[in-house]
Protein backbone atom coordinates (compact mmCIF):
# COMPACT_ATOMS: atom_id res chain seq x y z
CA UNK A 1 0.00 0.00 0.00
CA UNK A 2 1.30 3.45 -0.88
CA UNK A 3 1.80 5.44 2.34
CA UNK A 4 0.31 8.86 2.89
CA UNK A 5 0.52 11.45 5.67
CA UNK A 6 -2.04 9.58 7.75
CA UNK A 7 -0.28 6.20 7.64
CA UNK A 8 1.53 5.24 10.90
CA UNK A 9 5.32 5.01 10.75
CA UNK A 10 7.83 3.19 12.91
CA UNK A 11 10.55 5.81 13.35
CA UNK A 12 13.40 4.06 15.10
CA UNK A 13 12.18 3.32 18.61
CA UNK A 14 9.02 5.43 18.28
CA UNK A 15 5.77 4.51 16.54
CA UNK A 16 4.25 7.69 15.11
CA UNK A 17 0.48 7.53 14.40
CA UNK A 18 0.81 9.82 11.38
CA UNK A 19 3.59 11.34 9.26
CA UNK A 20 2.74 14.99 9.89
CA UNK A 21 5.55 16.18 12.14
CA UNK A 22 6.19 19.52 13.82
CA UNK A 23 9.39 21.05 12.45
CA UNK A 24 11.79 22.60 15.00
CA UNK A 25 10.89 26.29 15.16
CA UNK A 26 12.79 28.92 17.11
CA UNK A 27 10.15 31.05 18.88
CA UNK A 28 12.30 33.05 21.37
CA UNK A 29 9.94 32.52 24.28
CA UNK A 30 12.16 30.99 26.94
CA UNK A 31 12.12 32.71 30.32
CA UNK A 32 15.09 34.39 32.06
CA UNK A 33 17.89 31.87 32.39
CA UNK A 34 16.81 30.37 29.04
CA UNK A 35 14.32 28.16 30.87
CA UNK A 36 11.08 26.82 29.32
CA UNK A 37 7.92 27.36 31.37
CA UNK A 38 4.17 26.70 31.38
CA UNK A 39 3.57 28.80 28.25
CA UNK A 40 5.99 26.62 26.29
CA UNK A 41 4.33 23.52 27.69
CA UNK A 42 0.95 24.74 26.46
CA UNK A 43 2.31 25.52 22.99
CA UNK A 44 3.64 22.00 22.50
CA UNK A 45 0.64 20.35 24.17
CA UNK A 46 -1.66 22.03 21.65
CA UNK A 47 0.30 20.38 18.82
CA UNK A 48 0.55 16.90 20.34
CA UNK A 49 -1.56 15.32 17.57
CA UNK A 50 1.45 15.54 15.25
CA UNK A 51 3.09 12.20 14.61
CA UNK A 52 6.27 13.60 16.15
CA UNK A 53 7.06 17.01 17.63
CA UNK A 54 10.65 18.13 17.13
CA UNK A 55 11.12 20.83 19.74
CA UNK A 56 12.96 24.03 18.92
CA UNK A 57 16.73 24.32 18.70
CA UNK A 58 18.07 24.14 22.26
CA UNK A 59 21.58 25.08 23.29
CA UNK A 60 23.93 22.50 24.82
CA UNK A 61 26.45 25.08 26.09
CA UNK A 62 26.62 28.59 27.53
CA UNK A 63 28.75 29.38 24.46
CA UNK A 64 26.11 28.06 22.09
CA UNK A 65 23.65 30.99 22.12
CA UNK A 66 23.16 33.45 19.29
CA UNK A 67 19.59 34.68 19.75
CA UNK A 68 17.66 36.20 22.67
CA UNK A 69 15.32 34.07 24.79
CA UNK A 70 16.19 30.70 23.27
CA UNK A 71 16.18 27.66 25.57
CA UNK A 72 19.10 25.69 26.96
CA UNK A 73 19.56 22.07 28.01
CA UNK A 74 22.67 21.89 30.20
CA UNK A 75 21.59 22.57 33.80
CA UNK A 76 19.00 21.43 36.33
CA UNK A 77 16.73 24.44 35.76
CA UNK A 78 16.59 23.68 32.04
CA UNK A 79 15.76 20.05 32.77
CA UNK A 80 12.95 21.03 35.13
CA UNK A 81 11.53 23.51 32.63
CA UNK A 82 11.59 21.05 29.75
CA UNK A 83 10.03 18.39 31.97
CA UNK A 84 6.91 20.56 32.09
CA UNK A 85 6.82 20.43 28.29
CA UNK A 86 7.36 16.69 27.92
CA UNK A 87 4.83 15.90 30.65
CA UNK A 88 2.19 18.04 28.93
CA UNK A 89 2.85 16.46 25.53
CA UNK A 90 2.81 12.91 26.88
CA UNK A 91 -0.41 13.58 28.83
CA UNK A 92 -1.96 14.64 25.51
CA UNK A 93 -0.78 11.43 23.82
CA UNK A 94 2.14 12.94 21.90
CA UNK A 95 5.79 12.13 21.22
CA UNK A 96 8.55 14.75 21.34
CA UNK A 97 12.26 14.92 20.46
CA UNK A 98 14.57 17.79 21.43
CA UNK A 99 16.87 19.42 18.89
CA UNK A 100 20.41 19.84 20.25
CA UNK A 101 22.13 23.04 19.10
CA UNK A 102 25.29 25.12 19.16
CA UNK A 103 25.30 28.21 16.93
CA UNK A 104 29.09 28.47 16.57
CA UNK A 105 30.00 31.67 14.70
CA UNK A 106 26.37 32.84 14.37
CA UNK A 107 26.64 34.72 17.63
CA UNK A 108 28.10 37.87 19.17
CA UNK A 109 30.10 38.66 22.32
CA UNK A 110 26.90 39.94 23.95
CA UNK A 111 25.68 36.32 24.09
CA UNK A 112 29.00 34.83 25.18
CA UNK A 113 30.31 34.25 28.72
CA UNK A 114 32.57 37.16 29.75
CA UNK A 115 31.94 38.79 26.35
CA UNK A 116 34.26 36.35 24.57
CA UNK A 117 34.36 35.82 20.82
CA UNK A 118 32.07 33.13 19.39
CA UNK A 119 33.82 29.91 18.35
CA UNK A 120 33.91 28.29 14.92
CA UNK A 121 35.99 25.85 12.87
CA UNK A 122 37.83 28.80 11.26
CA UNK A 123 38.09 32.54 11.87
CA UNK A 124 35.74 33.53 9.03
CA UNK A 125 33.27 36.33 9.67
CA UNK A 126 29.74 35.66 8.41
CA UNK A 127 28.02 38.28 6.29
CA UNK A 128 25.04 40.07 7.77
CA UNK A 129 23.73 41.10 11.16
CA UNK A 130 21.99 39.61 14.18
CA UNK A 131 19.52 40.91 16.75
CA UNK A 132 21.13 41.31 20.16
CA UNK A 133 17.84 41.75 21.99
CA UNK A 134 17.97 45.54 21.76
CA UNK A 135 19.47 46.33 18.32
CA UNK A 136 20.89 44.90 15.13
CA UNK A 137 24.67 44.36 15.17
CA UNK A 138 27.22 43.12 12.64
CA UNK A 139 28.55 39.62 13.11
CA UNK A 140 32.10 39.48 14.42
CA UNK A 141 35.03 37.39 13.30
CA UNK A 142 34.87 34.22 15.43
CA UNK A 143 37.75 32.48 17.14
CA UNK A 144 38.85 29.21 15.57
CA UNK A 145 38.59 26.33 18.01
CA UNK A 146 41.87 24.72 19.00
CA UNK A 147 42.15 21.02 18.28
CA UNK A 148 42.49 20.44 22.02
CA UNK A 149 39.07 22.07 22.61
CA UNK A 150 37.07 19.78 20.34
CA UNK A 151 36.65 16.92 22.85
CA UNK A 152 34.90 19.39 25.17
CA UNK A 153 32.49 20.35 22.37
CA UNK A 154 31.63 16.68 21.85
CA UNK A 155 31.16 16.28 25.60
CA UNK A 156 28.74 19.24 25.67
CA UNK A 157 26.51 17.54 23.12
CA UNK A 158 26.63 14.29 25.10
CA UNK A 159 25.77 16.18 28.30
CA UNK A 160 22.87 17.90 26.54
CA UNK A 161 21.65 14.54 25.30
CA UNK A 162 21.70 13.15 28.83
CA UNK A 163 19.90 16.23 30.14
CA UNK A 164 17.22 15.78 27.46
CA UNK A 165 16.77 12.21 28.61
CA UNK A 166 16.41 13.39 32.21
CA UNK A 167 13.80 15.92 31.04
CA UNK A 168 11.62 13.15 29.65
CA UNK A 169 12.06 13.52 25.89
CA UNK A 170 11.48 10.54 23.60
CA UNK A 171 14.69 11.18 21.70
CA UNK A 172 16.89 13.92 20.25
CA UNK A 173 17.71 15.46 16.89
CA UNK A 174 21.17 16.88 16.21
CA UNK A 175 21.03 20.31 14.57
CA UNK A 176 23.54 19.88 11.75
CA UNK A 177 21.83 22.43 9.48
CA UNK A 178 21.29 26.11 8.70
CA UNK A 179 24.85 27.29 9.16
CA UNK A 180 25.37 26.44 12.84
CA UNK A 181 28.43 24.84 14.41
CA UNK A 182 28.27 21.28 13.06
CA UNK A 183 27.26 22.55 9.61
CA UNK A 184 30.17 25.03 9.75
CA UNK A 185 32.61 22.17 10.28
CA UNK A 186 31.06 20.09 7.51
CA UNK A 187 31.15 22.59 4.64
CA UNK A 188 34.34 23.78 2.98
CA UNK A 189 33.10 27.36 2.70
CA UNK A 190 33.38 27.78 6.47
CA UNK A 191 35.95 25.14 7.38
CA UNK A 192 39.49 26.06 6.32
CA UNK A 193 41.24 23.95 8.95
CA UNK A 194 44.36 21.95 8.14
CA UNK A 195 44.18 19.48 11.04
CA UNK A 196 42.18 16.27 11.41
CA UNK A 197 38.88 18.22 11.44
CA UNK A 198 39.45 20.08 8.17
CA UNK A 199 40.51 19.67 4.56
CA UNK A 200 38.94 16.67 2.82
CA UNK A 201 35.35 15.60 3.36
CA UNK A 202 36.38 12.75 5.65
CA UNK A 203 37.93 15.26 8.05
CA UNK A 204 35.20 17.88 7.73
CA UNK A 205 32.54 15.27 8.55
CA UNK A 206 34.50 14.03 11.55
CA UNK A 207 32.92 16.31 14.16
CA UNK A 208 29.39 15.46 13.03
CA UNK A 209 30.16 11.75 13.26
CA UNK A 210 31.98 12.08 16.60
CA UNK A 211 29.08 14.03 18.11
CA UNK A 212 26.51 11.62 16.67
CA UNK A 213 28.30 8.62 18.15
CA UNK A 214 28.57 10.33 21.53
CA UNK A 215 24.83 11.07 21.54
CA UNK A 216 24.02 7.53 20.39
CA UNK A 217 26.01 6.29 23.39
CA UNK A 218 23.53 8.17 25.59
CA UNK A 219 20.27 7.37 23.81
CA UNK A 220 20.80 4.35 21.58
CA UNK A 221 20.73 4.80 17.82
CA UNK A 222 16.97 4.33 17.46
CA UNK A 223 16.23 7.50 19.47
CA UNK A 224 18.62 9.83 17.62
CA UNK A 225 18.00 11.78 14.42
CA UNK A 226 19.96 14.45 12.58
CA UNK A 227 18.92 17.50 10.56
CA UNK A 228 20.78 18.58 7.41
CA UNK A 229 20.27 21.45 4.97
CA UNK A 230 22.45 20.41 2.01
CA UNK A 231 21.35 23.14 -0.38
CA UNK A 232 20.80 25.92 2.12
CA UNK A 233 22.68 29.21 2.06
CA UNK A 234 21.22 30.66 5.27
CA UNK A 235 23.85 32.18 7.59
CA UNK A 236 26.27 32.71 4.69
CA UNK A 237 26.85 29.02 4.00
CA UNK A 238 28.19 27.33 0.90
CA UNK A 239 30.11 24.25 -0.17
CA UNK A 240 32.04 23.58 -3.37
CA UNK A 241 30.44 20.15 -3.89
CA UNK A 242 27.42 19.67 -1.61
CA UNK A 243 26.21 16.49 -3.31
CA UNK A 244 29.56 14.84 -2.56
CA UNK A 245 29.84 16.33 0.95
CA UNK A 246 26.37 15.37 2.12
CA UNK A 247 26.32 12.10 0.18
CA UNK A 248 29.48 11.01 2.01
CA UNK A 249 28.07 12.03 5.39
CA UNK A 250 24.76 10.24 4.81
CA UNK A 251 26.54 7.04 3.80
CA UNK A 252 28.50 7.14 7.05
CA UNK A 253 25.36 7.93 9.05
CA UNK A 254 23.54 4.99 7.44
CA UNK A 255 25.91 2.63 9.22
CA UNK A 256 24.84 4.06 12.59
CA UNK A 257 21.18 2.99 12.13
CA UNK A 258 19.74 6.28 13.37
CA UNK A 259 16.02 6.88 13.82
CA UNK A 260 16.03 9.28 10.87
CA UNK A 261 17.80 11.86 8.76
CA UNK A 262 15.84 15.11 8.49
CA UNK A 263 16.85 16.64 5.14
CA UNK A 264 15.45 20.02 4.15
CA UNK A 265 14.75 20.85 0.54
CA UNK A 266 15.75 24.07 -1.22
CA UNK A 267 13.37 26.90 -0.41
CA UNK A 268 12.36 29.86 -2.55
CA UNK A 269 14.25 32.03 -0.05
CA UNK A 270 17.41 29.95 -0.60
CA UNK A 271 17.08 30.33 -4.36
CA UNK A 272 16.58 34.09 -3.99
CA UNK A 273 19.85 34.24 -2.03
CA UNK A 274 21.89 32.34 -4.60
CA UNK A 275 21.35 28.67 -3.78
CA UNK A 276 21.51 26.17 -6.63
CA UNK A 277 18.76 23.60 -6.85
CA UNK A 278 19.50 19.90 -7.29
CA UNK A 279 20.85 18.89 -3.88
CA UNK A 280 18.13 17.88 -1.48
CA UNK A 281 16.34 14.83 -0.10
CA UNK A 282 15.33 13.54 -3.55
CA UNK A 283 18.89 13.60 -4.87
CA UNK A 284 20.48 12.36 -1.64
CA UNK A 285 18.01 9.54 -0.94
CA UNK A 286 20.23 6.90 -2.62
CA UNK A 287 22.99 7.68 -0.11
CA UNK A 288 20.90 6.95 2.99
CA UNK A 289 19.31 3.64 3.93
CA UNK A 290 17.22 4.78 6.92
CA UNK A 291 14.09 6.86 7.40
CA UNK A 292 14.05 10.31 5.83
CA UNK A 293 12.01 13.25 7.10
CA UNK A 294 11.84 16.25 4.80
CA UNK A 295 10.72 19.83 5.29
CA UNK A 296 10.27 23.03 3.31
CA UNK A 297 7.02 24.51 2.04
CA UNK A 298 5.02 21.33 1.56
CA UNK A 299 1.27 21.10 1.04
CA UNK A 300 -0.90 18.04 1.63
CA UNK A 301 -0.59 17.15 -2.04
CA UNK A 302 3.16 17.67 -2.44
CA UNK A 303 3.86 15.90 0.85
CA UNK A 304 1.88 12.84 -0.19
CA UNK A 305 3.67 12.89 -3.53
CA UNK A 306 7.06 12.83 -1.77
CA UNK A 307 5.92 9.81 0.28
CA UNK A 308 4.53 7.97 -2.75
CA UNK A 309 7.73 8.57 -4.72
CA UNK A 310 9.77 7.13 -1.85
CA UNK A 311 12.28 9.92 -1.25
CA UNK A 312 10.71 10.80 2.09
CA UNK A 313 9.00 8.79 4.82
CA UNK A 314 7.48 11.74 6.73
CA UNK A 315 7.14 15.50 6.31
CA UNK A 316 7.77 18.16 8.95
CA UNK A 317 5.65 21.29 8.75
CA UNK A 318 6.79 24.61 10.19
CA UNK A 319 4.64 27.70 9.65
CA UNK A 320 1.41 25.73 8.94
CA UNK A 321 1.78 23.86 12.25
CA UNK A 322 2.67 27.08 14.06
CA UNK A 323 -0.61 28.66 12.94
CA UNK A 324 -2.73 25.49 13.17
CA UNK A 325 -2.26 23.56 16.41
CA UNK A 326 -4.57 20.84 15.07
CA UNK A 327 -2.90 20.65 11.65
CA UNK A 328 -3.28 16.84 11.22
CA UNK A 329 -7.03 17.07 11.77
CA UNK A 330 -7.40 20.02 9.40
CA UNK A 331 -5.44 18.27 6.67
CA UNK A 332 -7.42 15.06 7.06
CA UNK A 333 -10.76 16.92 6.88
CA UNK A 334 -9.69 19.31 4.15
CA UNK A 335 -10.55 22.17 6.50
CA UNK A 336 -9.31 25.73 5.93
CA UNK A 337 -6.03 26.72 7.59
CA UNK A 338 -5.37 29.70 9.85
CA UNK A 339 -2.98 32.27 8.38
CA UNK A 340 0.25 32.78 10.31
CA UNK A 341 1.23 36.21 11.61
CA UNK A 342 4.98 36.65 10.91
CA UNK A 343 5.15 39.74 13.14
CA UNK A 344 4.74 37.45 16.18
CA UNK A 345 7.19 34.69 15.21
CA UNK A 346 9.99 35.91 17.51
CA UNK A 347 8.20 38.13 20.01
CA UNK A 348 7.19 37.29 23.59
CA UNK A 349 4.02 36.15 25.29
CA UNK A 350 1.01 34.13 24.08
CA UNK A 351 0.08 36.28 21.07
CA UNK A 352 0.97 34.38 17.92
CA UNK A 353 2.07 31.47 20.08
CA UNK A 354 -0.74 29.79 22.00
CA UNK A 355 -3.72 31.82 20.74
CA UNK A 356 -4.19 30.33 17.27
CA UNK A 357 -7.65 28.72 17.30
CA UNK A 358 -8.33 25.04 16.75
CA UNK A 359 -11.28 23.87 14.66
CA UNK A 360 -13.22 23.09 17.84
CA UNK A 361 -12.65 26.63 19.10
As annotated, the active-site residues are 180
Question: Helix (H, G, I), strand (E, B), or coil: what is residue 256?
Answer: coil
d(CA 294, CA 315): 5
Given a contact cutoff of 8 angstroms between Cβ atoms, the answer to whether 268 and 297 are in contact is: yes
Rounded CA gap, 66 and 131, in Å? 9
**Where are the strands (E) in the chain, listed by range?**
9-11, 14-16, 20-22, 53-59, 96-101, 119-120, 129-131, 136-138, 143-144, 171-176, 224-228, 260-264, 292-295, 314-317
Is the Cβ–Cβ distance between 198 and 191 less than 8 Å?
A: yes
Contact residues for 251 (Cβ-Cβ < 8 A; gap 6+): 287, 288
How far is residue 219's CA from residue 165's CA, in Å, rounded to a whole number?
Answer: 8
Beta strands in 17-106 (DSSP E): 20-22, 53-59, 96-101
Contact 17/328 with Cβ under 8 angstroms? no
Could you tell me which of 225, 212, 227, 127 has the C-alpha nearest to residue 177? 227
**CB-based contact 354:47 (threshold 8 Å):** no
Nearest to 150 by CA among 98, 91, 193, 89: 193
Amino acid sequence: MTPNLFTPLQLGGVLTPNRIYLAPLTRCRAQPGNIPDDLNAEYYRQRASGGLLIAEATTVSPRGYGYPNTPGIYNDAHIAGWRKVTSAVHAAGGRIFLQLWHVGRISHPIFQPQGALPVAPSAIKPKGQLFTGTEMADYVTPRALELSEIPAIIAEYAHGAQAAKSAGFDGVELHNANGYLLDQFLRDGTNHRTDSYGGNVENRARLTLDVTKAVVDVWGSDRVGIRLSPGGVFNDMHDSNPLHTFGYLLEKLSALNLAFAHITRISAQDLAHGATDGVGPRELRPHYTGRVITNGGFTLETANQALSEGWADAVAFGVPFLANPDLPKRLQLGAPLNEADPSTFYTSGPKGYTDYPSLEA
